[in-house]
């Protein structure tokens, strides 16, 4: 079984490959990765299944091959019975689509696609955590700088400056970060930074 994985995010592709090898590892399973799809990959590698990230712009290229040629992997969405296509739907939701050649075992297709979807969801979770951590850090910095402005302009202790920020946030129904950003925006007028 040859599986080709196309994903601009190569770390995520490696994660999917590892998942497939864990389930189908064996001398007959070959997995190849690419950040871009190239036509020659079909000739050189002859994949039975292609897994492609929905965010890859190359998906339309792969899709078009079925119009021109009979012996290329076709979109999985063309094979599934709509009453039983949970694997395809969940994969799409996770951001991954698949193409298989005629005759590829549908059960195997569904289980590989499920593995791919899980790995995509996992990566998305990590990405979300990372961007939340970055946002938290940025918020922290904004608040610290606003505290500094208040300490200097109103001659407050750090603790009192934070309390003033928090009180203003509660009074106006906004986040402390938003209040802090406003203070920084007008800090020039306050004679601060």
Rounded to a whole number of angstroms, the minimum distance from the CB of residue 104 to another protein is 16
CB of 72 to another protein, least distance (A): 12
Q: Is position 117 an interface residue for another protein (rule: CB under 8 A)?
A: no
| Bridge partner residues of 52 (DSSP) | 6, 97
- Residues 18-37 contacting another protein, CB under 8 A: 36
Q: Mask 37-66, x = binds another protein (CB under 8 A)?
A: -----------------xxxxxxxx-xx-x
Distance of CA 187 to the CA centre of its chain: 38
Tokens 């599986």 appear where?
3
- Residue 170, classed as helix, strand or coil, is helix
3-state SS class at 38: coil
Would you state the structure tokens that stand for residue 19, as one six-digit string?
């998942």
Evaluated on CA atoms 1, 99, 58, 123, the torsion sign reads: negative
The minimum distance between CB 38 and another protein, in angstroms, equals: 10
Cα separations (Å) of 138 from 45, 68, 177, 178? 46, 51, 9, 12
144 binds another protein (CB under 8 A): no
Q: Which residues pair with 34 in a beta bridge?
A: 6
Q: How far is the CB of 152 from another protein (least distance, A)?
A: 35
DSSP H helical segments within the chain, as ranges? 10-24, 40-45, 59-68, 86-94, 106-153, 158-172, 176-185
Please give the size of the binding site for another protein, defined by CB under 8 A: 21
Q: Which one, 52 or 112, has the nearer CB to another protein?
A: 52
In the complex with another protein, which residue's Cβ is closer, 57 or 188? 57
Site string for another protein, 76-95 (x = CB under 8 A): -xx---------xx--xx--
Q: Which is nearer to another protein, 18 or 93 (CB)?
A: 93
Residue 12 as a binder of another protein (CB under 8 A): the answer is: no
Which residues are near another protein by CB under 8 A?
36, 54-61, 63-64, 66-67, 75, 77-78, 88-89, 92-93, 97
């Amino acid at each position: 079984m040859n599986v080709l994985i196309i994903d601009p995010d190569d770390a995520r592709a490696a994660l999917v490959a590892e998942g497939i090898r864990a389930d189908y590892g064996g001398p007959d399973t070959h997995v190849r990765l690419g950040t871009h799809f190239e036509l020659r990959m079909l000739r050189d590698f002859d994949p039975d299944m292609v897994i492609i990230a929905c965010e890859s712009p190359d998906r339309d290229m792969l899709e078009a091959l079925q119009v021109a040629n009979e012996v290329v992997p076709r979109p999985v969405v063309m094979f599934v019975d709509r009453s039983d296509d949970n694997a395809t739907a969940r994969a799409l939701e996770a951001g991954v689509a698949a193409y298989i050649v005629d005759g590829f075992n549908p059960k195997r297709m569904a289980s590989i696609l499920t593995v791919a979807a899980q790995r995509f969801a996992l990566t998305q979770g990590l990405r979300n955590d990372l961007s939340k951590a970055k946002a938290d850090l940025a918020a922290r910095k904004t608040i610290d700088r606003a505290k500094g402005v208040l300490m200097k302009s109103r001659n407050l202790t750090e603790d009192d400056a934070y309390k003033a920020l928090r009180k203003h946030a509660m009074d106006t129904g906004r986040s402390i970060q938003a209040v802090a950003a406003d203070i920084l925006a007008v800090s020039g007028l306050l004679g601060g930074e």
